[in-house]
Amino acid sequence: KLGWGHEYADTARPVTASFVGAPAFAFTTYGAAPQRDSVVLGLSASTAIADATSLYFRYEGNVSSQDSNQALTAGFRMTW
* The total number of structural domains that make up the chain: 1
Q: What is the 3-state secondary structure (H, E, C) of 10-75?
A: CCCCEEEEEECCEEEEEEEEECCCCCCEEEEEEEEEEEEEECCEEEEEEEEEEECCCCEEEEEEEE
With the CA atoms of 53, 60, 73 and 76 taken in that order, what torsion angle do they form, in degrees rounded to the nearest 10?
A: 0
Strand partners, 3: 40
Nearest in space to 5 (alpha carbons), one of 64, 60, 58: 64
The predicted-structure confidence for 54-72, as pLDDT tens digits, reads as follows 999 999 999 998 889 999 9
33 and 63 Cβ atoms separated by less than 8 Å: no
Can you give the residue range of the structural domain that contains 44? 2-78
The predicted-structure confidence for 19-42, as pLDDT tens digits, reads as follows 999 999 999 998 877 788 999 999
Q: What is the pLDDT of residue 35?
A: 84
